Amino acid sequence: MVLETAKGQRPVVLTVDDELGVRETIRQVLGDDCNILEATDSPSALAQLQAHDVDLVLLDVRLPGETGIDILERIKGLEESMEVILVTAVNDVRTAVEAIRRGAYDYVVKPFDVDEMQTLVRRALEKRALQREVLYLRSELASAQGFDEIVGRHPEMVRIYERTAQVAETSATVLITGESGTGKELIARAIHRQGPRRERPFVAVNLAAIPEPLLESELFGHEKGAFTGAYQKKPGKFELAHGGTLFLDEVGTLRVDLQAKLLRVLQEREVERVGGTRTIKVDVRIIAATNANLRQAVKDRTFRADLYYRLNVVPLTMPPLRERREDIPALVTHFLKKYNREFGKAVRGVSPGVLPVLLEYDWPGNVRELENIIERSVALARGPVIHLADVPLDLALPDPGTHREDQGLSLREARERFERQFVLRVLDRVDWNQSRAARLLGLHRNTLTAKLAGWGLRRADADQALP
């Protein structure tokens, strides 16, 4: 049985069974063709699904504390298109059939026949590969219809495109998690533009930016005379978003009493204005975003558990830019095109020394920070190329922050990085004339040549240019 995913890789199969013997048998039957992950209960299974790109789940009908149907619903909540095969005893066949009605691919009875198991797995994986291909094509189409601001081919970004294209067709509540500047609102807007509510309003509200005394009124509206300064009635964001999508950014900053009111709105689909006595029905899709760890906030009792589970129906996690550095050249190209159009410029690229600096920087402000750098550089550019001297100095300086795995640089590493960036700046200034650069640096030309060779640097055949 030779198997591979649509990407030409070995498929990943998650076995969820509390019996060691069953897990070992599955590993023996499928291990030559698949990468096998294992879990013994629902929490560990869900953790594996969130941590790995799984193609198929083999799920025992009976696990400690939960039925196969309960776990199936949790799995489908993470990813609706996930294929699940139930592994069942003879007396649990009825349960397995019910699970198929609810979205499972099929079931196999223990002790299972090897050929039957392999055939079933192969068919399920073929269906999964076809589904992923469809989702990929949809995401490619969406790039021209609403995803054009979201750039990157890092595997995690591709996974987000697929999940976004899939969830956009539904009205499911989405919780987007990620550091500031990673593009959470862009994803929210893309979901809205690709969904059935695209012709209705998209209302974005940053909960952290609204003064606390005004927050309730902004969200739910107020009646005339409800408080000092309320000279006329005002609809809230929920009413303004009726029929469309309400994007709640920085939802983790919401104070506890308003969390309760938000939960009630999500449950009852109705709001009551401040100072009002009647309820107003609202039909909105909720997309929330946060840069905080809401799961930890629930443990710390600063965020309601019931609200968290109500928001976290479909979770999406945006990776920070430092974890997808290979996307930086494409992002630079994208932002150059964007701000050339906006400013009426014709900046065609960056000089050879710029890209290494951009690739090494840790980008604490993520994609937003990179965009700001390119926007400023294009606005101030006096020629067709952005030079290293146009890049802020702090990008070239070593950063001993906490983002890197080594938790900072040694003094020798920091000194070497600074020296490298300083030399690049001088070379960039003299258009890579090594003789002139050596004189300015107070070095022999051979010494400079040796340093560049040691760093693996050379003048590119041509400037990094837009395609």
Kindly report the number of other CB atoms within 10 A of residue 205's CB atom.
21
- Looking at residue 407, what is its pLDDT? 47
Can you tell me the mean pLDDT for 156-184?
A: 91
**Structural domains in the chain plus CATH codes:** 12-136 (3.40.50.2300), 155-317 (3.40.50.300), 323-465 (1.10.8.60)
Contact 90, 51 (CB under 8 A): no
pLDDT of residue 401: 46
Residue 438: per-residue pLDDT: 86
Strands 270-271 and 245-249: unpaired
Chain segment 407-453, per-residue pLDDT in tens? 456 777 767 777 877 787 777 777 778 888 888 888 888 888 888 87
pLDDT (0 to 100) of residue 76: 79
Q: What is the Cα–Cα distance from 254 to 259, expressed in whole angstroms? A: 6
Task: Render pLDDT for 42-67 as a digit per residue (tens, 0 to 9).
Answer: 888 888 887 788 889 999 988 887 77
Which pLDDT does position 3 carry in this prediction?
56
pLDDT band at 365 (very low <50, low <70, confident <90, very high): very high
Q: What is the residue whose two structure tokens read 């974005």? A: 204
pLDDT for res 259: 95
> Which residues, 6+ apart, have CB-to-CB distance to 203 below 8 Å?
237, 240, 241, 244, 245, 246, 247
Tell me which residue of 138, 120, 114 sits closest to 3, measured CA to CA.
120
Q: CA triplet 457, 454, 449: central angle to 5 degrees?
A: 70
User: pLDDT for 223-276, tens place per residue?
Assistant: 888 777 777 888 889 999 999 999 999 999 999 999 999 999 999 999 989 888
Please list the alpha-helical segments (H only) found in 83-144: 93-101, 114-142
Residue 321's beta-bridge partner residues?
none
Tell me the pLDDT tens digit for each residue of 79-130.
Answer: 777 899 988 877 677 777 788 888 889 888 888 888 888 999 999 998 888 8
Report pTM: 0.60
Rounded to the nearest 10 degrees, the angle between the axes of helix 434-441 and helix 411-429 is 130
